[in-house]
Structure 1
Amino acid sequence: MITLLVLGIAGPWFVFIAVAEDIWESGGFIGDQPLLMWVHQQQSPSLDQVALILTYIGGPWVIGGATVAIGGVLLWRHHCAKTWFFVLSMGGAMLFNLLAKVIFGRPRPALWASIAPAKFYSFPSGHAMGSAALAAALVFLLWDTHWRWTVVCSSSLFALGVGLSRVYLGVHYPSDVLAGWVCSLGWVASLHVFFSPDWAQLRQWWRAGIAYWQ
């Protein structure tokens, strides 16, 4: 539990706050634009297609559909706590993304004409947050099964590919994607701890202590 708190919660939130502070004060990382231009120099027709596919799969329609489907299966199998955990993981990540975009109001990169232009604000990346939230939630849900490492590897590659596709397409800075990844990881890990049996035991002790002093 302590390791999870430090690595899974404190670490991602620390990185997110550091990135957000840098963007708030100076508009972004010094290396944002050079790295974006370097990625653009690797452009090719085949990579264009891969990026378009990944960015579509990591978009709101597919991620939203997957959320409804997985949440529905969990509810149908009467896993109430897991359903709440999964729905809050996805819904909370998207709500946090919307609020952060409005608060920071960071314009999207405009270094070249993208083959998949996007609107609204840039920070943090919604695609990165959605894919990372889905990946992290599935890892926690399936951690105690024999599918554990298959899910860890496949979901991590999925979130990585979706985030990189947004940079490749020129619609997000690298810092947007990094912030999206760590924000979702911190959020989902926080929920996992909240829904864990250890936390339930702490809540019982807390209620017992309050009842004792009343």
Structure 2
Amino acid sequence: MLIGVVLPWGIFLKASSEIREGEGFPGDQWTLQWLHTRATPALDQLFLLLTRLGGPPVMATLAGLIASLLIWRRQRRHAWFFSVAVGGAAALNIVAKLLLGRVRPALWVSLAPETTPSFPSGHAMGSAALVLTLGLLLARSRWRGLLWGLGALFVLGVGVSRLYLGVHYPSDVLAGWIASVGWVSGVHLLFSPYLRELEQLIHPRHHSLRP
């Protein structure tokens, strides 16, 4: 787990240093232009939907519901872990955007224009943090493979939607994913001694039958 903290943060800090120096990344503009040449009305609607689902209002509402459910089930330690991991990722994203101040791409008029700084992508970081944290909480579920698969597809879809709409560079999205891995892994490492009763969340009846 430690390498899941150190390696992502090393990559993220290196990328941040490049951004502060005003340097771009190979393939950033080319990738956006390639995607834009393949735009269709159907894809417009699909990626607008995905970008809305991965946006702050939906993510914050979903995170609040999950945290409330954990508290209602008396899983307060899990609720703390979930809240710090997901909420902390959102706060970290805001701070990074303000410190780095990367200007958004302006290659065409976007269907969903943005005015805030670009690096790292908040949609990519927020969706990845929520899926990663929920995946760790549900690590003992019999459905974990399906859940991880669907979660990964959702995170990927949200990230691609930001590129398709022309409001982020690929490096913004990758940085958001990498920062989420580093942050959530670090929070999990700190909370792991207190997260031994995960099975009760998935199998409450089985857990209650134990002596």
Look up the SS of the partner of 1:109 in the other structure. Answer: coil
Any stretches of 5+ residues in structure 2 without a counterpart? 197-211
Stretch of structure 1 that moved more, 168-177 or 15-24: 15-24
2:99 is aligned to 103
Q: Is the 8 A contact 2:96 2:119 kept in 1?
A: yes
When normalised by structure 1's length, the TM-score is 0.88
Change (3 A) 1:66 1:199: closer
Deviation at 1:28, TM superposition (A): 2.1
The match for 1:46 is: 42
Change over 3 Å in CA distance of 1:114–1:176 after alignment to 2: same
Q: CA offset at residue 84 of structure 1?
A: 0.5
Q: Is the 8 A contact 1:128 1:163 kept in 2?
A: yes
% same residue? 49
Does 2:134 match 1:157? Answer: no
Contact 1:89 1:188 in 2 (8 A): yes
Q: Name the aligned partner's letter for residue 189 of structure 1.
A: S
Contact conserved, 2:82 with 2:133, CA < 8 A, in 1? yes
From 66, 78, 85, the equivalent of 2:81 is 85
**Offset of residue 198 of structure 1:** 8.4
Secondary structure of the residue aligned to 2:147 is helix
RMSD: 1.5
Residue 186 of structure 2 corresponds to 190
Q: What do residues 98-121 of structure 1 show as CA deviations (whole Å, max 9, x unaligned)?
A: 101110111100000001111211
**Structure 2 letter corresponding to 1:123:** F
Equivalence for 1:148: 144
Cross-structure match for 2:171: 175
After superposition, what is the alpha-carbon deviation per residue over 1:5-53, rounded to whole angstroms, capped at 9, x for unaligned? 11x2122212212221222223321321111111111111111111001
**1:124 is aligned with what amino acid?**
P
Residue equivalent to 1:5: 2
Deviation sequence 1:61-80 (CA, Å, 0-9, x none): 11010011000000111111
Segment of structure 1 superposing worse, 130-139 or 147-156: 147-156
How far, CA to CA, are the matches of 1:57 and 1:94 in structure 2? Answer: 16
Q: Is the 8 A contact 1:193 1:199 kept in 2?
A: no
Q: Would you say 1:32 and 2:50 are equivalent positions?
A: no
Q: Deviations over 1:179-202 (max 9, x none)?
A: 0011011101111111112899xx
Q: Give the count of matched residue pairs.
A: 196
Kept in 2: contact 1:9–1:190 (CA 8 A): yes
Greater helix content? 1
Match of 2:131 in 1: 135
CA distance in structure 2 between the aligned counterparts of 1:17 and 1:155, rounded to whole angstroms = 26
Deviates most, 16-25 or 172-181: 16-25
Structure-to-structure mapping, 1:199-210, within 5 angstroms: none
- Contact 2:78–2:195, Cα closer than 8 Å, also in 1: no
Q: 1:10-29 alignment to 2 at 5 Å?
A: 10-29=6-25
